[in-house]
């Protein structure tokens, strides 16, 4: 089967995996999950019982969930163009960067996402925003400091899957309106550089359902049921 990525909208962290697939350039399909439409189709539990996106179904029907696992899987497929050989110091540095982004930095936004779901309770929303704002600011300050001395997010001399993940998550700071990324000039410059990347622009257009020109790997969208019917018994 065509390897297929399930990605979530709006604003899913799965944007990173779409970017990485574009950078990889190999054939792939996408399947879209509208995350705010609850309950999600029951069949999705066959893909990821946690009902979270992203999830990647490889050509042999095996499923890889968790952004970091998917991104490192795609990096390995790229002949290490988007990553490094496991066991090398560069791999450890990339893994460290991804781990920070996918744990501490991702988690800093949790109160803001909780506030997002409480439109009917503005006072609680404000408490949650007050909780999330300094956490996100701390994360942005850390990334800004790193990027002051780095050309790419992981500290190497080429873009990697860590840059894809950074784009997907850092955008939430402005999405939730808690801070302006411009206050972190190195982070802002790096994000601006990445936004000019064709793979990033493609993934963004896919999310917004706008016309998108990709690297040639994208084979179109497929329905959840079609993917599930191709899974090994």
17 binds ligand GSH per the rule CB under 6 A: no
4 binds ligand GSH per the rule CB under 6 A: no
13 binds ligand GSH per the rule CB under 6 A: yes
Taking the complex as a whole, the smallest distance from the CB of residue 98 to ligand GSH amounts, in Å, to 10
Q: Which is nearer to ligand GSH, 66 or 197 (CB)?
A: 66
Taking the complex as a whole, the smallest distance from the CB of residue 97 to ligand GSH amounts, in Å, to 14
**Site size for ligand GSH, by CB under 6 A?**
10
CA distance 164 to 131: 27
Question: What DSSP line would sit under 66-109, residue for residue?
Answer: SHHHHHHHHHHHTTTSSS--TTSHHHHHHHHHHHHIIIIIHHHT
Taking the complex as a whole, the smallest distance from the CB of residue 63 to ligand GSH amounts, in Å, to 12
All residues at 6 or more sequence positions from 2 whose CB lies less than 8 Å from its CB, including other chains? 27, 28, 29, 59, 219, 222
Q: Which is nearer to ligand GSH, 114 or 137 (CB)?
A: 114
Q: Which is nearer to ligand GSH, 76 or 193 (CB)?
A: 76
Taking residues 99 to 118 in sequence order and writing x for each that binds ligand GSH by CB under 6 A, - otherwise, the string is ---x----------------
189 binds ligand GSH per the rule CB under 6 A: no
Q: Which is nearer to ligand GSH, 120 or 196 (CB)?
A: 120
Assign 141 to helix, strand or coil: helix
CA distance 73 to 76: 5
CA distance 66 to 59: 18
Site residues (CB under 6 A) for ligand GSH, limited to 28-87: 35, 52-54, 66-67
CA distance 113 to 10: 12
Question: What DSSP line would sit under 16-27, residue for residue?
Answer: HHHHHHHHH-S-
Position among 4, 6, 7, 12 found at the interface with ligand GSH (CB under 6 A) = 12
The residues that bridge with 6 in the sheet, in sequence order, are 31, 55
Which region among 5-13, 183-191, 203-211, 225-233 touches ligand GSH (by CB under 6 A)? 5-13
User: CA nearest 168: which of 38, 34, 7?
Assistant: 7
Q: Which is nearer to ligand GSH, 8 or 199 (CB)?
A: 8
For the chain, the first-to-last Cα distance in angstroms comes to 14
Which residues would be at the binding site for ligand GSH (CB under 6 A)?
8, 12-13, 35, 52-54, 66-67, 102
């Amino acid at each position: 089967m065509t390897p297929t990525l399930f990605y979530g909208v709006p604003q899913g962290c799965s944007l990173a995996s779409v970017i990485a697939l574009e950078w990889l350039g190999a054939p792939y399909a996408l399947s879209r999950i509208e995350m705010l439409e609850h309950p999600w189709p029951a069949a999705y539990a066959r893909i990821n019982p946690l009902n979270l996106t992203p999830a990647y179904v490889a050509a042999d029907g095996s499923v890889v969930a968790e952004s970091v696992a998917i991104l490192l899987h795609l990096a390995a497929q790229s002949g290490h163009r988007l990553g490094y050989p496991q066991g090398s110091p560069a791999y450890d540095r990339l893994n460290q960067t991804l781990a920070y982004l996918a744990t501490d930095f991702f988690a800093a936004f949790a109160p803001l996402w909780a506030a997002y779901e409480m439109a009917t309770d503005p006072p609680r929303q404000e408490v949650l925003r007050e909780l999330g704002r300094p956490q996100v600011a701390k994360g942005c300050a850390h990334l800004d400091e790193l990027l002051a001395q780095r050309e790419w997010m992981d500290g190497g001399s080429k873009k990697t899957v860590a840059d894809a993940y950074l784009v997907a998550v850092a955008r939430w700071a402005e999405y939730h309106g808690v801070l302006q990324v411009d206050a972190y000039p190195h982070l802002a410059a790096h994000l601006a550089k990445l936004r000019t990347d064709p793979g990033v622009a493609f993934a963004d257009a896919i999310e917004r359902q706008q016309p998108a020109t990709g690297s040639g790997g994208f084979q179109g969208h497929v329905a959840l049921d079609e993917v599930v019917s191709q899974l090994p018994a």
